[in-house]
Structure 1
Amino acid sequence: MKLAIMQPYFLPYIGYWQLMNAVDKYVIYDDVNFMKRGWINRNRILMNGKAKIINIQMYGASQNKLINEVELLGDKKHNKKLLRTLESCYKKAPYFSSAYPIVEKIINKEEQKLIGYLEYSIKQICEYLSINTELIVSSTINKNNDLKGQDKILEICKILGVDEYYNAIGGQELYSYEDFESQNIKLKFLKTERINYKQFNDEFVPNLSIIDLMMFNSKEDIKKMLEQYELL
């Protein structure tokens, strides 16, 4: 059984979905500390040919809180403004009519907790892209929460009966092939290949939110992109 574990991010880039699609079970890591200036509550879209940051408004967010302790502000005016921005940026994109209703449904989701909102958004995108991986929220797993880093990951793997553990390429320095092998688990890192597609007539801007891919590409083409990676 193949497993991946990642913090929940706000409508993340293609690599996040590649990792999820490559495994049998995917743990949404919600009982670790919230990271400011990361991608948990924000992402980038295309505006006038350049990357533009969009975000979720939160209440009392702090690195001293776990992700599942952070609450949303629930500002409907902010959400309406965000949707107007997305419509303005992408209304002439070829797949706007099919992608925008999904994004609109996510943005308008009324949810008090950040983790509930992000879990909902992940499930909506999975449904749109026909990603059928089983999703598990880490706080629902009965484990030793005093463990940190690799040790906590290994315990989750042991509890779930994992044979292979996949991680994003950025975590290579955090995990040891030998330590995983000692637990009879194969450790692999997923490296996204270079993915280009037409964005209006401007120079291509890479690594934007999945929103951008959905606006400019068919579901069938995105499914092919989900397979464009290398395992190390």
Structure 2
Amino acid sequence: MNLGIMQPYFMPYIGYFQLMKAVDKYVIYDDVNYIKGGWINRNNLIVAGKKSLFTIMLSQASPNKLINEIEIKDDFRRLLRTLQMNYCKAPYYGPVMELMEDIVSFPDRQLALFIGNSFKCVLSYLGIKTELIYSSQLSKDCGLRGQDKVIDICNLLKADTYLNAIGGMELYDREEFKKHGIDLRFLKTGGIEYSQFNSDFIPYLSMIDVLMFNSVDETNRLLDCYELV
């Protein structure tokens, strides 16, 4: 069984969803500390033809709190207006705006649950069957940290392969995972490129941008554009 574990980010870049599609089960790591200035509540879109950061407003966010202890206070009107103004001519604007309206109308504003629901919505839209699990619901050893905690979760869920983003190569030791019968692999995103308003391609944007310019089938082909190392 292939397993992935990542902190929840709101509509992150395509590599995050590649990892989610590549595994059988995906753990939303919601009971770790919030990282201020990270990517949990922000990403990039095309605004006026250029890469532009959007940020989701949170209530009393602090690195002293767990992700699942933080609430969203954003009403998302600004984000929806930004999408309307800048993506209305994108080929899949209609269905993706419906998807985004469903996502932002989710009634539970607890950060991890809200983002977890957004994952479910996107996966459903794309026909992806990966099972999502919140780490806070697992009976794990909370005294463990870092790699040891990840290995504990892998053992709990009986995973024989753990997939992580390529950036995790400096954090995890293959031999240590192997001692526990787990094959550690890293997902490296391939050369992702698609048409954006017939202009030069702007990479590393939110998944929203990918969906606006690509059909379900085209998006799934992009999601399969990676290698495991």
Shorter-chain TM-score range: over 0.9
Q: Does 1:135 align with 2:148?
A: no
Matched residue, 1:223: 220
Select which of 156, 159, 166 maps to 2:163: 166
Which amino acid counterpart does residue 126 of structure 1 have in structure 2? L
Q: Is the 1:45–1:209 Cα contact (8 Å) retained in structure 2?
A: yes
Matched residue, 2:113: 116
Q: Distance in 2 between matches of 1:144 and 1:187?
A: 21
Q: Distance in 2 between matches of 1:59 and 1:164?
A: 37
3-state DSSP of counterpart to 2:53: strand
Matched residue, 1:26: 26
Count of residue pairs the alignment pairs up: 229
Q: Deviations over 1:195-221 (max 9, x none)?
A: 000000221100101100111011100
Q: Does 1:85 align with 2:82?
A: yes
Q: Deviations over 1:171-228 (max 9, x none)?
A: 1010001001111110000000010000002211001011001110111000111110
Q: Deviations over 1:75-117 (max 9, x none)?
A: 43xx222211111110000111111110121123232311111
Matched residue, 1:55: 55
Once structures 1 and 2 are overlaid, which stretch shifts more, 202-211 or 103-112? Answer: 103-112
3-state DSSP of counterpart to 2:220: helix
Matched residue, 2:173: 176
3-state DSSP of counterpart to 2:149: helix
Q: Aligned runs of 1:40-51 on 2, under 5 Å?
A: 40-51=40-51
Q: Is the 1:25–1:135 Cα contact (8 Å) retained in structure 2?
A: yes
Which amino acid counterpart does residue 102 of structure 2 have in structure 1? K
Q: Distance in 1 between matches of 2:158 and 2:77?
A: 44
Which amino acid counterpart does residue 175 of structure 2 have in structure 1? E
3-state DSSP of counterpart to 1:37: coil
Q: Distance in 2 between matches of 1:165 and 1:96?
A: 35
3-state DSSP of counterpart to 1:172: helix
Q: Distance in 2 between matches of 1:103 and 1:208?
A: 16
Q: Deviations over 1:142-178 (max 9, x none)?
A: 0111111000000001111111000000010100010
Matched residue, 2:145: 148
- Give 4+ residue runs of structure 1 displaced > 3 Å after superposition: none
Matched residue, 2:64: 64
Q: Using the TM superposition, give the Cα deviation of residue 49 of structure 1 relative to its aligned residue in structure 2, in angstroms.
A: 1.9
Q: Which runs of 5+ in 1 are unaligned?
A: none
Q: Which runs of 5+ in 2 are unaligned?
A: none
Matched residue, 2:207: 210
Which amino acid counterpart does residue 16 of structure 1 have in structure 2? Y
Give % identity.
Answer: 52
CA RMSD of aligned residues (A): 0.9
3-state DSSP of counterpart to 2:170: coil
Normalising by structure 1, report the TM-score: 0.96
